[in-house]
Structure 1
């Protein structure tokens, strides 16, 4: 039993060391593709086998690091006070949720880009995307008169894609606060819009 507990503690310690090392590497490198599993293992002082056992592959490591950085926002969304928490009126909560996503991706641009571009399958079936889409859809469904909440949630999240954030912030040098204001205006227009004129459910 003591050996098993010691082994478990070593695994936890190694996992934390890997996340810290990966975090530092992704923050320093210009391109997320420059960070390899070998780089992370060397920086963390563990063998590559340990790395693969703990995270499976590079996508698993990226996802774990992403979730680690996202944890404070998740807690605020699940049980926190306004504007992110569940007590916030739906119409106010939608822009607050999207603002949180945008700020997170702006502040973690290389990591978010690596995660969204490095997956082997569609980004729309990734766990982190499905979670945000499901949450947004549920909140949108609470807004009277707003239809097609599933599609609307997809469209709103598209405005926070990591490659778009990188293009606007990195290539066009748009400041963080200006991006936030632009997104807020866009979300407001979407929430204020009704069905297109002349379009009925029968069509």
Structure 2
């Protein structure tokens, strides 16, 4: 049998190539500028022109680093999304492992609702891009809810049921219910629980 070719590695030096360091610097400048402007004005009032001007870079740099405005906003959410994923996968019960599936599902709904309310401006901005609804964090949330529904004994199309439940946590829906229909975070959490229990036959 012929020997398998060994993988080739680029030489490692003590200093990253200039282009990589420059790209990282520009990325941090853009993120810092966006955070600062959003804190001052709110996400809705901040344009890409504002961000690149505050960062001191060209507009093309923003699009090369993040693809578009939604990509930049998504990056701002990334750290908190990762922390949330750690909670649901490795945190204490009932949100994390160790509790019955239905209890975890109910805890997830209320905790995610709090997350959506706290991150409303950024999430609403990201969701201007229709493809953002299918980004990696959204897929993680959908998968998590699907698994818990299945483990809790639901019947029927689990994928569709997970999508229906997650629609109750959509940032635009939540904002409308809180500002126009007289709901509170508590009542929206109660609604999530009611639907989740019915889907699981309790």
The TM-score range, normalised by the shorter chain, is 0.7 to 0.9
Q: Shift of residue 3 of structure 1?
A: 5.9
Task: Rate the CA distance shift 1:78–1:162 in 2: closer, same or farther, 3 A.
Answer: same
The residue that corresponds to 1:193 in the other structure is: 198
Pairing of 1:14-163 with structure 2 (within 5 A): 14-30=26-42, 32=44, 34-116=45-127, 118-121=128-131, 124-163=133-172
TM-score (norm 2): 0.78
For structure 1, the residue ranges without an aligned partner over 5 or more in a row are 197-203
1:161 Cα shift? Answer: 1.0
| Partners of 1:55 and 1:100 in 2: CA distance | 29
- Give the CA RMSD over aligned residues: 2.7
Give CA deviations for 1:38-95 in whole Å, capped at 9, x if unaligned.
Answer: 2111222333232222111112112211223322212212222223223332111112
The DSSP-based 3-state class of the residue aligned with 1:134 is helix
Distance 1:155 1:145, change over 3 A: closer
When the two structures are aligned, how many residues end up with a matched partner? 189
Correspondence for 2:4: none
1:63–1:115 Cα contact (<8 Å) kept:
yes
How far the C-alpha of 1:120 sits from its partner, in A, is 4.3
TM-score of the two chains, using structure 1 as the length reference: 0.78
Task: Provide the secondary structure at the position in 1 that maps to 2:51.
Answer: helix
Q: Secondary structure at the match of 2:152?
A: coil
SS in 2 for 1:46: coil
Gaps of 5+ in 2: 1-12
Pairwise CA distance, 1:106: 0.7
